[in-house]
Chain A
Amino acid sequence: MALLEVKDLVIDIPVGVGTLHAVSGVSFSLERGETLAIVGESGSGKSLTSLAIMDLLPKRVQRRAARLAFDGIDLSTISAAGMRRLRGNRMAMIFQEPMTSLNPSYTIGDQLTEALTCHRKVSASAARDRAVHLLEKVGITAAARRLSQYPHQLSGGLRQRVMIAMALMCGPELIIADEPTTALDVTIQAQILHLIADLQKEFGMAVILITHDLGVVARVADKVGVMYAGSLVETAPARTLFRHPAHPYTRGLLDCIPVPGRTVPGAPLGAIRGQVPNLIGRLEGCAFRNRCDLAGPDCATPIPLVQPEPDHAVRCLRAMIPEAAA
């Protein structure tokens, strides 16, 4: 059984003039110890998807799914208390903004140990020891001394390390990292990503990495899901995706970054023309068709899922299927 199953996840946001279909029909599954990267532009619904799994969506946002299950537990029918027992305990989250994600009024130590003591009956000193141990694990020196420091006394990179340590406090089976490096300096970004990848191997957790950076994906992900305008347009193993991107949007994305062996040296990088469509109101057909060079009138009809390989799925009528598979 997969650790996480998501089937036909729909997220609607009521706005003044109608309903914004932020996520429509996203499906994927994740095995234990696996790393899934979800890629997409801002506004594609990838962050909302991750918040939906954790049940952390704002009140006015509506979530529906044909199936949403963690380790066989149905998350769409679970009680609030039951969800709380999972959250932070068996599934944890790392957020985008390390600068504002820690409470300014409490020490690092207090916030770290709280993550453990609210789920386990452990002594304060045991919780403290675990906090020190994990701070060292995430590469923070003088960990014991950091416990009595306040968030404003740490740099952004250090705070993100603290957030990672906090997510690890209960030894979760799933970690969702929502653009964990976006707010950090470029030099720090690589360190944090390597850290997450190393910890994932060491503790055998499953990881969902939300990012808009394909370069990151290539290095750490087992599987990749590409999101566009609220739907998952292509899912594939990382190697397949980079070698044989099937969806025109995925190919457009890959043309925008230099990839060794794919980008022609000296040739200009690509760009995707046009803009992300407005998601308010009823949507029919492929959301990418207004920006797609291959689009035809039939793209306005519902698009079936094509599976060139068992673990490769793409939602496009004109998907570029590699010959070996076809």
Chain B
Amino acid sequence: MLAFTLRRLVVAVSVAFTVSVIAFTLLHLSGDLATAIAGPEASAAQVAEIRQQYGLDRPLSAQYLDWLWGALHLDFGRSFYFRDSVASLISERLPVTMTLGAISLAISLIIAVPLGVLAAVYRGTLIDRLALTFCVLGQALPTFCLGLGLIIVFAVNLRWLPVSGNASWQNYVLPSIALGWYAVPAVMRLSRNGMLEVLSQDYIRTAYAKGLSPARVILKHALRNAIIPVVALAAVQFGFMLGGSIVVEAVFSMHGIGHLAWEAIARNDFPVVQAVVLVLASIYITLTFLADVLNALLDPRMRVA
């Protein structure tokens, strides 16, 4: 278990470094930053001045190491546009996105896992068909369309919930549904397949042979084993949701990290974009690492391995 955790940790850390290299080079290789910052009307002298001011005249590797060293201390430099430190921008916006992501994940799990389990238990029946149809329809409905639809129905017509912003808890309801929806089909399919596989195992027959009730067999003996892969998927989906929150935040004008990135991209604010990519990737990497370890803890067979 320790060896497994360590090996997994080494992979996680090196992936994080690779991502940092990609995030850095992606933005630096794709054009002349100084020209982009200075704007189209700047003279050659102004561009040169900016280049020197931001250290853009130094070798790329030196710039990267500087940036990485800063990033390791949570110092991502200063934003070109917001005239504020990137770190403070992120720490101000991240909680909004994390809250949104957590509620969305909870919503999608609450819908998808029971639905998947029911579909597996009642395999081939109307319940199963409805669940699968729901899944296929869900996959085809883009987050932003659902978001706009929710606004029209619940915020504009019914006036139950606010249209946009992130001032109160009511602001989180519709965006969380829109974002959580995105993960429902994948989680449902996995719960259903996991459950189907577990239900065909010999130990389920043993449990029935003991005289246990179907409810007890399903909830105690089957669910525990079927849920193990769902844990890993939930972590992955949470990471995807943080990345995908950019769309939802744009639809609902929530000032989270996604919205920040969107504004920054539109304004060539590279330090912010780099930092957001790195932060989101690091959260994803941490989550998948924790999920793998949690998986190992849930599955006694993996503990000794």
Asked if A and B touch directly (CB within 8 angstroms), the answer is yes
Among the 9-residue stretches B26-34, B63-71, B206-214, B280-288, the one with 4 or more Cβ atoms under 8 Å from chain A is B206-214
Complexed CA–CA distance, A100 and B207 (Å)? 12
Known A-B contacts A97-B202, A100-B202; the reply to A118 vs B225 at CB < 8 A is no
Which chain B positions have C-beta within 8 A of A150? 300-301
| A166 contacts B300, C-beta separation under 8 Å | no
Q: Determine whether A277 belongs to the interface, using a CB cutoff of 8 Å to chain B.
A: no
Total A-B pairs, Cβ < 8 A: 69
Option from B203, B211, B300 in Cβ contact (under 8 Å) with A84:
B211
Interface residues of B in 190-205 (CB under 8 A from A): 201-203, 205
Among the 9-residue stretches A38-46, A87-95, A293-301, the one with 4 or more Cβ atoms under 8 Å from chain B is A87-95
Complexed CA–CA distance, A88 and B210 (Å)? 4
Among the 9-residue stretches A102-110, A127-135, A210-218, A234-242, the one with 4 or more Cβ atoms under 8 Å from chain B is A102-110
Q: Determine whether A7 belongs to the interface, using a CB cutoff of 8 Å to chain B.
A: no
Option from B207, B211, B216 in Cβ contact (under 8 Å) with A119:
B211
Complexed CA–CA distance, A220 and B207 (Å)? 28
| A118 contacts B203, C-beta separation under 8 Å | no
Q: Determine whether B221 belongs to the interface, using a CB cutoff of 8 Å to chain A.
A: yes
| B201 contacts A100, C-beta separation under 8 Å | yes
Known A-B contacts A105-B224, A105-B300, A150-B301; the reply to A118 vs B216 at CB < 8 A is yes
Q: Determine whether B304 belongs to the interface, using a CB cutoff of 8 Å to chain A.
A: yes
Band of interface residues on B: 20 to 34
Known A-B contacts A101-B203, A104-B299, A118-B216; the reply to A85 vs B209 at CB < 8 A is no
Known A-B contacts A104-B299, A105-B300; the reply to A85 vs B206 at CB < 8 A is no
Would you list 10 pairs from A and B whose C-beta atoms are within 8 A, ordered by A residue? A56-B205, A56-B209, A84-B213, A100-B203, A101-B202, A101-B206, A103-B207, A103-B225, A118-B211, A166-B206
Q: A101-B203, A104-B299 are in contact. List 4 more A-B contacts (CB 8 A).
A: A56-B209, A97-B202, A100-B203, A166-B210
Q: Sorted from nearest, which 8 A-B pairs have the closest CB atoms?
A: A88-B211, A88-B210, A87-B211, A100-B202, A150-B300, A103-B203, A101-B202, A93-B209
Q: Taking CB as reference atom, which chain A residue is nearest B212?
A: A118
| B203 contacts A102, C-beta separation under 8 Å | yes
Q: Determine whether A54 belongs to the interface, using a CB cutoff of 8 Å to chain B.
A: yes
Which chain B positions have C-beta within 8 A of A84? 211-213
Option from A86, A87, A100, A105 in Cβ contact (under 8 Å) with B208:
A87
Complexed CA–CA distance, A88 and B209 (Å)? 6
Q: Mark B285-305, 1 if CB is under 8 A from A, else 0.
A: 000000000000011110010
| B221 contacts A153, C-beta separation under 8 Å | no
Q: Which residues of A contact B (CB under 8 A)?
A: 54, 56, 84-89, 92-93, 95, 97, 100-106, 114-115, 118-119, 150, 152-153, 163, 166
Looking at the assembled complex, report how far the CB atom of B266 sits from the nearest CB atom of chain A, in whole angstroms: 50
Looking at the assembled complex, report how far the CB atom of B116 sits from the nearest CB atom of chain A, in whole angstroms: 18
Interface residues of B in 87-132 (CB under 8 A from A): none
Complexed CA–CA distance, A80 and B3 (Å)? 48
Looking at the assembled complex, report how far the CB atom of A69 sits from the nearest CB atom of chain B, in whole angstroms: 18
| A87 contacts B225, C-beta separation under 8 Å | no
Complexed CA–CA distance, A85 and B211 (Å)? 6
Looking at the assembled complex, report how far the CB atom of A127 sits from the nearest CB atom of chain B, in whole angstroms: 13
| B212 contacts A54, C-beta separation under 8 Å | no
Complexed CA–CA distance, A104 and B221 (Å)? 9
Which chain A positions have C-beta within 8 A of B300? 104-105, 150, 152
Q: Taking CB as reference atom, which chain B residue is nearest A92?
A: B209
Interface residues of B in 209-230 (CB under 8 A from A): 209-213, 216, 221, 224-225
Which chain A positions have C-beta within 8 A of B211? 84-89, 115, 118-119
Option from A92, A101, A105 in Cβ contact (under 8 Å) with B205:
A101
Which chain A positions have C-beta within 8 A of B207? 103
Looking at the assembled complex, report how far the CB atom of B7 sits from the nearest CB atom of chain A, in whole angstroms: 21
